[in-house]
């Protein structure tokens, strides 16, 4: 999941120098450096490209900014007419620096360390485009989808096209695999889960594989719960990210039996550390380590997480697996 960021002093030192977070994402030299920071410090098995899912709205012409605290801000899409102001396709020129970051990192990483690219899933990206910020339940996007179903479907289609094109270029620049983050999949009602999570993600996978036949892809529909079974049936990803809320028996019997899984330590257990962290780690290894499995968090590292807890986690996982 997210491995760079504010919990790292070396990241904060670079972040302080940039006014706008997106300037960092579009600065290949600094973005490559931030991508490599967690690898140098922790010797992880894979590096996660430093960028953000909101570069896609930016490439569609929507203004995106990040406050020092308080998360992303976008010019909210209030109604159908606002969609008409977006570009019909992403401007690849805007994203060129991201591909250059990938080329730089790929050159520097040892052969044994994978490089992971990513994009946001259409539904999750649409929630930020419509609300103009993060919300706890994505009510603005859900309301928009009910009120203006055709305009909403057109937005999702445009994000499918843009995301697929973006991932294809990431592969061509040198990533080994990509993850599709559907952080807000869990708030969708059942038919919406099918239309706005499963179908668009399946289209992205198909489009990417048409250009890059053996493209390796990981899906992460956070909060999907038992609908994760529908997700793996409908989206032909190579592996599935599990969030920290999922039932272990369900995930092992119904999901890991069908697809390799990745996850799913509660980021809060990592922040707390000590015996809480050890017990949570052991439970995950007991549940999943006998099948195809990547140990990971169930979401991103929280900014207040002490570095010593991450070191403790890595030592424990490496000693047990
Ligand atoms: O390892 C990495 O950190 C890789 C890069 C990465 C970032 N964002 C950098 C980032 C990745 C993989 C993302 C994905 C992302 N971005 C998602 C999906 C995954 C998830 O966490 O759910 C989402 C929903 C976003 C949108 C976004 N970007 C939000 C809601 C925020 C604010 C949250 C926060 O922690 O402040 C961001 C900002 C952001 N993206 C930061 C980083 C390192 C922190 C910004 C800062 O330093 O000011």
pLDDT in tens, 145-175: 999 999 999 999 999 999 999 999 999 999 9
- Atom index in ligand 1 nearest the CA of residue 118 equals 12
**For residue 70, what pLDDT band results from cuts at 50, 70 and 90?**
confident
Count CB neighbours of 61 within 10 A: 14
pLDDT in tens, 170-203: 999 999 999 999 999 999 999 999 999 999 999 9
> Strands 46-48 and 114-120: what pairing?
parallel
DSSP conformational letter for 68: S
Strand partners, 261: 240, 293
Q: Which helix (H) or strand (E) holds 47?
A: strand 46-48
- Atom index in ligand 1 nearest the CA of residue 3 equals 1
Q: Whose CA is nearest to atom 8 of ligand 1?
A: 52
Contact 77, 129 (CB under 8 A): yes
- Atom index in ligand 1 nearest the CA of residue 120 equals 18
> Strands 293-297 and 261-265: what pairing?
parallel
**For residue 67, what pLDDT band results from cuts at 50, 70 and 90?**
confident
Q: What is the mean pLDDT of residues 233-254?
A: 98
Cα(174) to ligand 1 centroid in Å equals 22
pLDDT recorded at residue 99: 98
For a pLDDT cut of 70, what percent of the chain falls above it?
Answer: 100
Q: Which helix (H) or strand (E) holds 317?
A: helix 307-320
Count CB neighbours of 150 within 10 A: 8
pLDDT recorded at residue 19: 81
Cα(290) to ligand 1 centroid in Å equals 31
pLDDT recorded at residue 17: 86
pLDDT exceeds 90 at position 24? yes
The Cα–Cα gap between 223 and 215 comes to 25
pLDDT recorded at residue 18: 85
6 catalytic per annotation? yes
Measured between its terminal Cα atoms, the distance across the chain in Å is: 20
Q: Whose CA is nearest to atom 35 of ligand 1?
A: 71
pLDDT recorded at residue 11: 96
Cα(259) to ligand 1 centroid in Å equals 26
* Exposure of 122 in the CB half-sphere (CA atoms within 13 A): 29
For a pLDDT cut of 90, what percent of the chain falls above it?
Answer: 92
176 catalytic per annotation? no
pLDDT recorded at residue 321: 81
How distant is the alpha carbon of residue 234 from its chain centre?
19
Q: Whose CA is nearest to atom 40 of ligand 1?
A: 52
pLDDT recorded at residue 281: 98
pLDDT recorded at residue 163: 98
Of the given ranges (2-6, 85-89, 193-197, 304-308), which has the lowest mean pLDDT?
A: 2-6
pLDDT recorded at residue 1: 75
pLDDT exceeds 80 at position 82? yes
Q: What's the mean per-residue pLDDT of the chain?
A: 96
Please indicate, yes or no, whether the overall pTM of this predicted structure exceeds 0.95.
yes
Q: Which of 7, 52, 104, 169 is catalytic?
A: 52
pLDDT recorded at residue 258: 97
- Atom index in ligand 1 nearest the CA of residue 179 equals 12
Contact 64, 45 (CB under 8 A): no
Nearest partner of 239 among 291, 292, 197, 184, judged by Cα: 292
The Cα–Cα gap between 99 and 96 comes to 5
CA-based angle 43:47:51, to the nearest 5?
140
pLDDT exceeds 80 at position 238? yes
Q: Which of 7, 11, 12, 15 is catalytic?
A: 15
Cα(319) to ligand 1 centroid in Å equals 30
The Cα–Cα gap between 80 and 101 comes to 35
pLDDT in tens, 108-139: 999 999 999 999 999 999 999 999 999 999 99
User: Which residues approach ligand 1 with their CB closer than 6 A?
Assistant: 2-6, 15, 21, 48, 50-54, 66, 71-72, 118, 120, 134, 181, 183, 300
Q: What is the mean pLDDT of residues 280-302?
A: 97
Alpha helices in 62-183 (DSSP H): 80-83, 92-108, 122-131, 139-147, 149-173
pLDDT recorded at residue 306: 97
Q: Which of 7, 11, 99, 128 is catalytic?
A: 128
pLDDT exceeds 80 at position 101? yes
């Amino acid at each position: 999941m997210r491995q760079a960021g504010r919990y790292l002093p070396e990241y904060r030192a670079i972040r302080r120098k940039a006014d706008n977070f997106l300037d960092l994402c579009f600065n290949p030299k600094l973005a490559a450096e931030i991508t490599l920071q967690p690898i140098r410090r922790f010797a992880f098995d894979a590096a996660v490209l430093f960028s953000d899912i909101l570069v896609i709205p930016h490439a569609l012409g929507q203004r995106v900014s990040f406050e020092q605290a308080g998360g992303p801000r976008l010019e909210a899409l209030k109604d159908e007419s606002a969609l008409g102001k977006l570009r019909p396709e992403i401007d690849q020129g805007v994203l060129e620096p991201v591909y250059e970051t990938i080329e730089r990192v790929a050159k520097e990483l040892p052969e044994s360390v994978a490089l992971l690219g990513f994009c946001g899933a259409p539904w999750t990206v649409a929630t930020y485009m419509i609300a103009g910020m993060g919300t706890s339940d994505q009510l603005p996007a859900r309301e928009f989808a009910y009120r203006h179903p055709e305009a909403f479907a057109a937005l999702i289609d445009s994000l499918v096209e843009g995301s697929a094109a973006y991932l294809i270029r990431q592969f061509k620049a040198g990533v080994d695999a990509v993850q599709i983050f559907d952080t807000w999949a869990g708030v969708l009602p059942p038919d919406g889960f099918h239309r706005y999570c499963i179908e668009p993600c399946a289209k992205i996978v198909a489009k990417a594989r048409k250009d890059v036949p053996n493209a390796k892809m990981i899906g992460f529909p956070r909060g999907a719960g038992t609908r994760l079974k529908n997700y793996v049936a409908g989206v032909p990803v190579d592996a599935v990210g599990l969030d920290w809320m999922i039932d272990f028996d369900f995930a092992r019997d119904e999901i890991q039996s069908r697809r390799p899984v990745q996850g799913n330590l509660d980021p809060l257990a990592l922040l707390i550390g000590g015996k809480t962290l050890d017990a949570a780690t052991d439970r995950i290894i007991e549940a999943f380590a006998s099948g195809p499995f990547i140990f990971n968090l169930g979401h991103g590292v929280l900014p207040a997480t002490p570095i010593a807890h991450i070191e403790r986690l890595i030592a424990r996982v490496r000693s047990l697996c």
